[in-house]
Structure 1
Amino acid sequence: MRIRLVPAVPAVLALALLAPAGAAVASSAGTAPPAPPACRESRLSVAASASDRPDTVRISVTNRGTRACSVDRVPTVVFGDLDGPALPVPGAESAPYRLPAGGSAHAAVRTLDPAATELRLVDRLTVAGDPAHRGRTFGAASLGAPEGIRVWEPVTTWWHRSTAAADAALDRYAD
């Protein structure tokens, strides 16, 4: 049996291991900077509008603050009194999305699965930049659907820098 010698832990690694849990450690790998703090709802403008595409709504959020902040990378879109928000495509966990001061993010929401054999009509939808926010409610008529918004298995894209990018993302996940 041979005994294998293990080299001593390099000093930099030892210091990193001894650093307090919240301390930042420099890395030569160039990790991304930490996300800015969460956006306060009062500093956000939320908008929704009808799209030229059937059963699709375009939404946006704008940071009216003077500093960058973060919203959730997946918008929260709820339809009337129906259970649960639109599902993200691609599927995703919560994570921050950086909004610069004065910056906007855009998403596309498909309200009705093209293969749906059922549907519900709702009189409103609510959009929020973060699940912790109340969001803003938009009536069906203001979204070009005076009879009601047609809903069945709705999906939403993540936030994007432009409406064109949001539309393209939705196209990639069309059924």
Structure 2
Amino acid sequence: MKKKRVVDVVADILIPYIGQKNLELVDVEFVKEGPYRYLRVTIDKEDSVTLDDCQWVSQYLNKKLDQVDPIEEQYFLEVTSPGVERVLKKPSEFEKFKGHKVQLKLFQPYEGQKMLTGNLLGLIDGSIVIENEIGVKIDIPQDKVSVTKLMVDFEDLGEDEEV
């Protein structure tokens, strides 16, 4: 029997339970940075994620991971929200954030640029489609894009709004 990856074990533990708090599991990463390992869990919800939400998930996950014990080495657990400039990964996120301003970082330059910005039109037939500031539609295959993230457009914020 094949051993499950840590990220899959964590997702299996969390998904049935975080719905109780109207939370969504956005991402799970188990990465090595320098000499340390990090288990990063990103959660979201309709309003905004609170510190209490992160603490609840962290405590719950710690308890369950102690029982299941899928990680043999030392690691740091981080539970966080995606933030305002969140990275879009899932098809549902591309649907949810249609019309929002995004930044695409490309593996290879497109017309001399490795970074493109525009309004997200969607994820269509495996391509990320945006409309740039002059109204030109740009269609980039998703496998040519290293990162797609939301951008805060400070020009669109009113004077009374905080960032």
Question: TM-score higher than 0.5 here?
Answer: no
* Larger fraction in helix: 2
Could you say which structure has the larger radius of gyration?
Answer: 1
TM norm structure 1: 0.24
Q: 1 or 2 for the larger relative contact order (CA 8 Å, sep ≥6)?
A: 1
TM norm structure 2: 0.25
